[in-house]
Amino acid sequence: MSELTSTTALRATMDAYYRSLADAALRKTAPVAWCTSVGPAELLRALGFAVHFPENHAAIMGAARTANRYLPLAHAQGYSQDICSYLTSDIGAYLAGESPLEAYGLERAPAPDVLVFNTNQCRDVRDWFEWYGRELGVPVLGLHSPRAIDDVTESDIDAVTMQLEALVAPLEQVAGTRLDDARLRAAMRASRDTAGLWGACLETASARPAPLTFFDGSVHMGPAVVLRGSDDAPAYYRTLLAELEQRVENRVGAVPAETLRLYWDGMPVWGRLRALSTMFAEFRTAVVASTYCNSWAFSGLDPAEPWRSVARALLELFIARSEAPKERYIARMVEFYDVDGVIFHDCRTCSNNSNTRYGMPGRITERLGIPTLVLDGDVNDLRCFSDEQARTNIEGFVEQLTDARAATSARGSR
């Protein structure tokens, strides 16, 4: 597998983000807000906040395979081993006085002036931010979004819109400035462009061979997460998209001699991202798309209608929906990317983003007529993941798909 040349630009983009965050924290160049990954980042940027995302911070520790040394420190505070390992690894790192941002001069995550959450993904983010609020004595603000939504209604949008608008006054007080409509519209345009370009990047994987995989996407989605509302994110994705389109034109695949195509539902196993990528490539299998990476390809963001369009985007998020729209979404993805099977990651500490526990894999197989595999693991806690078991299960699944394809081909040739 050849690395995307855009990775150099990605590293520079993310490096600049972390350095600006360090400047804000250490040199007081801007107030600092902590935000959940699908919180109101555009509003915060429009008010001049430097924005830190604890989920990104935790994912870095997961990818570096350092999370497990921090988890016990949070468990000793009374946090269960069964709750979000992003939360427990992040709080544990704080208690240890350590951070992967040490490379940028930060001994720990940047001290916040305010913490802002959105419960559309889970309750854990509120508990997470409220722990820091108590520990650091800073205000905690939040959106209390409905979950398990069927169709998003106008009343749902009204409720979240009012909550967004209600955040303005207290955030202005912390920022020491008034919200400027022009800055808000500019942040919205940047987010809209980021979402559209990121979605276009992901959609190139509908080509055969796919120019990128879920594992590539999990890395290259960084700017879409931490730079929403900033012009730096769309600038990066224009670079990435140009390279991916060139790969499609030249028929360069992320997986050499791609034979099978899969869809991944659920969180990454951060500490085994490279190992799983290498394993699937060994089996000439491309994991071409995922629910996770697509979560930041927001649709419908409108600078002319910032509050309602953001509210709608946050409500339409996959993780906030009920089983029926989730199944319809996966069915569309299976058709669009023309996949042979679906892998469901049953993430031990993230029940909110694990779609295995209420019969969905079986319903997907029955509905679409394609095999599914449930892979046990966790987003950060590697005690929940077995390399040997994963390899055995994946190898058996690939063999099942290969045999099914051979049988279909044999019937077609008669």
Can you tell me the distance from the alpha carbon of 201 to that of 229, in angstroms, rounded to the nearest whole number?
Answer: 18
Can you tell me the distance from the alpha carbon of 122 to that of 4, in angstroms, rounded to the nearest whole number?
Answer: 33
Q: What is the pLDDT of residue 411?
A: 65
Q: What is the mean pLDDT of residues 142-146?
A: 93
Q: What is the pLDDT of residue 404?
A: 87
Q: What is the pLDDT of residue 413?
A: 59
Range with the lowest mean pLDDT among 216-225, 333-342, 367-376, 405-414? 405-414
Q: What is the pLDDT of residue 172?
A: 98
The SS3 assignment for 283 reads coil
Count of CB atoms within 10 A of residue 233's CB?
A: 26
Closest-CA residue to 212 (of 199, 197, 221, 201)? 201
Q: What is the pLDDT of residue 245?
A: 98
Q: What is the mean pLDDT of residues 109-135?
A: 96
Does residue 180 register a pLDDT over 60? yes
Q: What is the mean pLDDT of residues 320-340?
A: 97
Q: Which residue has the higher pLDDT, 258 or 404?
A: 258
Q: What is the mean pLDDT of residues 106-117?
A: 96
Q: What is the mean pLDDT of residues 152-163?
A: 97
Does residue 409 register a pLDDT over 80? no
Q: What is the pLDDT of residue 405?
A: 82
Residue 132 carries which side chain, given as an amino acid letter? Y
CA distances from 386 to 22, 367, 372, 381 (A): 37, 30, 19, 11
Q: What is the mean pLDDT of residues 323-347?
A: 98
Does residue 410 register a pLDDT over 80? no
- Pinpoint the alpha helices (H) of 253-386: 273-282, 291-294, 306-316, 323-337, 360-368
The DSSP output letter for 149 is B
* DSSP string computed for 75-117: HTTT--TTS-HHHHHHHHHHHHT--GGGGGT-SSSPPPSEEEE
Does residue 173 register a pLDDT over 70? yes
Can you tell me the distance from the alpha carbon of 381 to that of 388, in angstroms, rounded to the nearest whole number?
Answer: 16
Q: What is the pLDDT of residue 295?
A: 93
Q: What is the pLDDT of residue 2?
A: 72
pLDDT in tens, 251-283: 999 999 999 999 999 999 999 999 999 999 999
Cβ atoms 228, 194 nearer than 8 A = yes
Please state the φ and ψ torsions of residue 372, each to the nearest 5 degrees: -130, 155
Mean confidence (pLDDT) of the chain: 96
Q: What is the mean pLDDT of residues 15-20?
A: 97
CA distances from 173 to 115, 141, 179 (A): 13, 13, 10
Count of CB atoms within 10 A of residue 181's CB?
A: 11
pLDDT in tens, 75-85: 999 999 999 99
pLDDT in tens, 184-211: 999 999 999 999 999 999 999 999 999 9
Please state the φ and ψ torsions of residue 261, each to the nearest 5 degrees: -130, 135
pLDDT in tens, 61-97: 999 999 999 999 999 999 999 999 999 999 999 999 9
Paired with 142 in beta bridges are: 117
- % of the chain surpassing 90 pLDDT: 94
Can you tell me the distance from the alpha carbon of 401 to that of 21, in angstroms, rounded to the nearest whole number?
Answer: 46
Paired with 118 in beta bridges are: 143
Q: Which residue has the higher pLDDT, 411 or 365?
A: 365
Q: What is the pLDDT of residue 299?
A: 84
| Domain definitions of the chain by residue range | 7-412
Alpha carbon 320 to chain centroid, angstroms: 14
Q: In what order do the strands lie in the sheet with 50-52?
A: 50-52, 32-35, 114-118, 140-143
The SS3 assignment for 286 reads strand
Can you tell me the distance from the alpha carbon of 79 to that of 95, in angstroms, rounded to the nearest whole number?
Answer: 13
Does residue 1 register a pLDDT over 60? no
Q: What is the number of helices (H) and of strands (E) in the chain? A: 17, 8
Closest-CA residue to 195 (of 314, 287, 288)? 314
- Please tell me the pTM assigned to this model: 0.96
- % of the chain surpassing 70 pLDDT: 98
Residue 315 carries which side chain, given as an amino acid letter? L
